[in-house]
Amino acid sequence: MKSANLRYLVPNGITFASLLCGIYAMMAAVNGRYFMGGTLVLISYVLDLFDGAAARRLNASSEFGLQLDSLVDMVSLGVAPSLLIFSYLQRQGEDMFWVWPATALVVLAGAYRLARFNLLPPKKTGSKDSVGLTISAGGATLALAVLADISPRYADFLPNWFFIPLMIIVSILMVSRIPYPSFEQVFGHRWATPLGLSGALILWYWLSFINAWFLCIIGYLTLSLARAGWRWKYPS
């Protein structure tokens, strides 16, 4: 193999590692190991951030990498967190009449979101907004909901009924065309960074790290929706 092609192994290797996390997350979920399953989904979420960054850093972006990343995201951040919530609610004795369609809806919305993303033109220079909620952010939100609910410090942090509307809302946000900013945009301002860190530390003090993370990502979704509503009402 030519040395010039070796650089592609790094981002693709990270993507395959993310896929392994997704596979083992599903195995853990069906066996009732929800902490392990949720943690693996979050690891996959972090790896998904790094594979793209590594590809850009090494100038190793490729059509193969793009398609591979989408397929892995579908498994690790679409199916895996959906199955995690499905299994968790089933073990909790929740009425499965609503759980089945809500679970399927997340997977269908994730597939639609990824297919649309692959057909979108390249982002304009300086634009970091995504069209609709990314499947990675959606999957992380669902995994964090389960992890927050089984937190040793705050068991049953969320009522069981909360998960169904959460899955429906995440699905709608993924298929929507609401512009979602990157975390860099949200926390990159001079005033937002210290304010965000201070708020996160306060939440962490009163709650567990996972519970604080879950509330922070819910805050991100809410602020993004508020920003979209403001821009719609007061277009520049």
Domain residue limits at 81: 3-121+133-178
34 assigned to some structural domain: yes
32 assigned to some structural domain: yes
Question: Long-range contact list for 60-64, CB < 8 A, 24+ apart?
Answer: 60/7, 60/8, 60/10, 60/11, 61/11, 62/8, 64/12
194 assigned to some structural domain: no
68 assigned to some structural domain: yes
151 or 150: which carries more pLDDT confidence? 150
Number of compact structural domains in the chain: 1
- The 10s digit of each residue's pLDDT in 12-40 is 888 999 999 999 999 999 999 999 999 99
Burial of 136 (0-12, 13-18, 19+ CB in 10 A): buried
C-alpha closest to that of 29 among 38, 21, 18: 38
CATH of the domain at 65: 1.20.120.1760
226 assigned to some structural domain: no
191 assigned to some structural domain: no
- The 10s digit of each residue's pLDDT in 199-216 is 555 555 555 778 877 888
- The 10s digit of each residue's pLDDT in 48-74 is 888 877 777 877 777 787 888 899 999
Over 80: is that where the pLDDT of 183 sits? no
CB 186 within 8 A of CB 134: no
204 assigned to some structural domain: no
CB 89 within 8 A of CB 99: yes
- The 10s digit of each residue's pLDDT in 85-105 is 999 999 988 888 899 999 999
Q: What is the pLDDT of residue 1?
A: 47
Token look-up 């389960």 returns 146
Over 90: is that where the pLDDT of 77 sits? yes
231 assigned to some structural domain: no
